[in-house]
A and B are shown apart, each in its own frame.
Chain A
Amino acid sequence: MDNTAENKEFLSVKNLKVEYFSGKTVVHAVNGVDLKMYKGKTLGLVGETGAGKTTIAKSILRILPDVGARIVEGEIKLDGKDLLSLKEHDMRKIRGNEISMIFQDPMTALNPVQRVGEQISEAVKLHSDLSKEQCEERAKEMLKMVGITEDRYYEYPHQFSGGMKQRIVIAIALACNPQVLLADEPTTALDVTIQAQVLELVGELQKKFNTAMLLITHDLGVVATVCDEVAIIYAGRIVEYGTKEQIFHHPSHPYTLGLFGAIPDMADDDIWLHPIEGLPPDPTKEIVGCAFAPRCKYATEACLKGEIPALTTEDGHISHCINMKSVLSKEGK
């Protein structure tokens, strides 16, 4: 990693714990997650559906539902500012302005009864003193930037295709030149060809504005293309964290290994993929030890007891596996 000023993390999440509750059932969605994001860099957050990825992003923006969700503990800092202790009023100035989010499903992320242009200019208006006309101008600029002609400003979401809608969602997110962009599976709902376009677009805009980006995905291919750093999340916990090269060339957590095993390898003659056996743990139960242990073929007695410490190598590669050494030797790496 280079030693410029950018080396200082711009947004950091420490020991974040989030719960959902309904009646007496409590779902432990996020259980002590640490993340660091740097200006101009992309952190990939990779995990299965239900691993708590979206919850983390929503916690950073503090847009979890009022009823039924709470941040139990943790610290989220944006450029030194503690976001969790900000007043709602001040937090609002950050949302969409300093931090913004691209949502997973473009089909439902846009207000069906508001013109798309207005949805963009509203974001501009909220965070600037520009006049209505100037906001509109800016919104049209944004439309052009994401490849939509400005005459479509006055149209409604139902008049756009899925890919176009996602462009609009991106335009809303980038309208105020945010310093942090949380992209929640921005391409999952799109065609492969559109996916590439959207990723390219996001990447370009990120470079242009030197944005710190959190890219939430379950697609390792996307990670390989876009990310600088990668965090692998399982059952609301980070299991492995490192640079893209570290994760892709030296995966060290059995879950990460499992994820790679579930990708077809063209060079290999194997006709079968290697799915990870079993299911993620019941999130309503407290987990002692390693959450992945029940599905892990390397698990030992020790894995089911007590806190699993983070093992960090000299170059900053973190793995939450107490048997890392033996795992790596068995995997032949």
Chain B
Amino acid sequence: MLRYFLKRLLWMIPIILAVAIVVFTLMTYCPGDPAEIILGSEATEEALEAKREELGLNDPYFVRLARFLSDTFIHFNLGVAWRTGIPIADSIVERLPRTMMLSGITLILSFAIGVPLGVIAAVHQNRWQDSLCMVLALVGVSMPNFWLALLLVILFAVKLKWLPALGIGGIQYYILPAISASATHIASAARQSRSSMLDVIRSDYITTARAKGVPENKVIIKHALKNALIPIITMMGTQFGKMLGGAMIIETIFSIPGMGTLIITAVNNRDYPVVQTGTIFLAIVFSFSMLLVDMLYAAVDPRIKAQYQNKGKKKVAVKKGAN
């Protein structure tokens, strides 16, 4: 198990390198001349040429790639933003925790609210509790988070003046962003939980549990939910990317200086080093979370754990059934 975990950690190194290469390459082919972006359109051709030379843009692609990779991963020199001159490392250290926090809150809320709602709906299938939960969830998943954010701002910040409309500060600054970032995910967690619960509730082993005399609430929580969690975790895993992405958009609405505002501003300003490095850092964060999801699988499903424990023998195990 630990070996599998370490193996996966090691695997992350080439993956992150691959991400870096892909992102670097993409950025190389982005439209616009970096020298002109930095110096402005009035700069003379000599000045531009000097800047290009300074940035090493005249070197061949592979030389620049190698330099970028060694700067980033060996010397931990992340460079400075073209537009602002601020060291990118500083921006990331300052901003990454905010984005993580916002998406973390989203994850917790969608699990803590969405899963119980889905379970309630499944247990009361076709009754009013079910209909109510599912209508709410349907509206929830259909609501663009940034529109919800704008509506919440109009209501709670502009009209009622209960909460601040933008910026950062105390907990009250995070309430509207958290709600608008989470709504969709709570709703989709509820929908997924309902459908996996319905699948599981019909299983034979649930009948076995009932036949043993297990009380209904225990049947649901101990026997059904634990099995239903497997697809729910899958979904949450893939959703976490959407949560990070959603957090980026929400940040721009509430002017939260996080990775979202950093990268989106940089994209609009064509400040490619910032986009590049910011993207790679989010990729690292995200890879770790996906690894955690996979570990969580193993914790919930012993069959997957067994598979992890003898990876490599996997194929043999599958074919063995044939004899």
Direct contact of A and B (CB under 8 A): yes
Query: Which A positions have Cβ atoms within 8 angstroms of B?
Result: 58, 61, 63, 65, 67, 88, 92-97, 100-101, 103, 105, 108-114, 119, 122-123, 126-127, 156, 158-159, 169, 172-173
How many positions in chain B have a CB within 8 Å of any CB in the partner chain?
25
Q: CA A4 – CA B156 in complex, angstroms?
A: 81
26 contacting pairs across A/B (C-beta < 8 A): A58-B207, A63-B207, A63-B211, A67-B125, A88-B216, A92-B215, A93-B213, A95-B211, A96-B211, A96-B214, A100-B212, A101-B211, A103-B204, A105-B204, A108-B204, A109-B204, A109-B208, A111-B208, A112-B227, A112-B301, A112-B303, A126-B213, A126-B214, A158-B302, A159-B306, A173-B211
Which residues does chain A contribute within 8 Å of B208, judged by CB atoms?
Answer: 103, 109-111, 119, 169, 172
Which residues does chain B contribute within 8 Å of A119, judged by CB atoms?
Answer: 208
Check if B209 sits within 8 Å of A113, measured CB to CB: no
Which residues does chain A contribute within 8 Å of B300, judged by CB atoms?
Answer: 113
Which residues does chain B contribute within 8 Å of A156, judged by CB atoms?
Answer: 302-303, 306
Q: CA A126 – CA B125 in complex, angstroms?
A: 27
Interface of B is mostly: helix
Check if B205 sits within 8 Å of A108, measured CB to CB: yes
Check if B207 sits within 8 Å of A103, measured CB to CB: yes
Give, as a whole number of angstroms, the nearest-CB distance from B319 to chain A: 16
Give, as a whole number of angstroms, the nearest-CB distance from B298 to chain A: 11
Q: Is B210 an interface residue (CB 8 A)?
A: yes
Check if B211 sits within 8 Å of A100, measured CB to CB: yes
Check if A158 sits within 8 Å of B204, measured CB to CB: no
Which of the listed residues B208, B211, B214 has the most CB atoms from chain A within 10 Å of its own CB? B211
Check if B227 sits within 8 Å of A94, measured CB to CB: no
Give, as a whole number of angstroms, the nearest-CB distance from A130 to chain B: 15
Query: Which B positions have Cβ atoms within 8 angstroms of A?
Result: 125-126, 202-205, 207-216, 223, 226-227, 230, 300-303, 306
Chain A residue nearest in CB terms to B198? A67
Chain A residue nearest in CB terms to B212? A96
Which residues does chain A contribute within 8 Å of B226, judged by CB atoms?
Answer: 111, 113-114
Give, as a whole number of angstroms, the nearest-CB distance from B234 to chain A: 15
Give, as a whole number of angstroms, the nearest-CB distance from A128 to chain B: 11
Chain A residue nearest in CB terms to B210? A63
Give, as a whole number of angstroms, the nearest-CB distance from A100 to chain B: 6
Q: CA A97 – CA B207 in complex, angstroms?
A: 15
Check if B205 sits within 8 Å of A96, measured CB to CB: no
Q: CA A112 – CA B229 in complex, angstroms?
A: 13
Check if B302 sits within 8 Å of A113, measured CB to CB: yes
Give, as a whole number of angstroms, the nearest-CB distance from B286 to chain A: 27
Which residues does chain A contribute within 8 Å of B125, judged by CB atoms?
Answer: 67
Q: CA A96 – CA B208 in complex, angstroms?
A: 9
Give, as a whole number of angstroms, the nearest-CB distance from B228 to chain A: 10
Q: A65-B202, A103-B211, A112-B301 are in contact. List 15 more A-B contacts (CB 8 A).
A: A63-B211, A96-B214, A97-B213, A101-B211, A103-B204, A105-B204, A109-B204, A109-B208, A111-B226, A112-B205, A114-B223, A123-B212, A127-B213, A156-B303, A159-B306
Chain A residue nearest in CB terms to B214? A126
Q: CA A113 – CA B233 in complex, angstroms?
A: 15
Give, as a whole number of angstroms, the nearest-CB distance from B306 to chain A: 7
Which residues does chain B contribute within 8 Å of A173, judged by CB atoms?
Answer: 211
Give, as a whole number of angstroms, the nearest-CB distance from A303 to chain B: 37
Which residues does chain B contribute within 8 Å of A126, judged by CB atoms?
Answer: 212-214
Which residues does chain B contribute within 8 Å of A112, judged by CB atoms?
Answer: 205, 227, 301-303
Which of the listed residues B210, B226, B300 has the most CB atoms from chain A within 10 Å of its own CB? B210
Q: CA A113 – CA B216 in complex, angstroms?
A: 18
Q: Quick one: which of B212, B223, B227 contacts A95, CB cutoff 8 A?
A: B212
Chain A residue nearest in CB terms to B127? A67
Give, as a whole number of angstroms, the nearest-CB distance from A94 to chain B: 7
Check if A172 sits within 8 Å of B212, measured CB to CB: yes
Check if A158 sits within 8 Å of B303, measured CB to CB: yes
Which residues does chain A contribute within 8 Å of B215, judged by CB atoms?
Answer: 92
Which residues does chain A contribute within 8 Å of B214, judged by CB atoms?
Answer: 92, 96, 122, 126
User: If the complex has contacts A67-B126, A156-B303, A158-B302, are A110 and B205 also in contact, measured as CB distance less than 8 A?
Assistant: yes
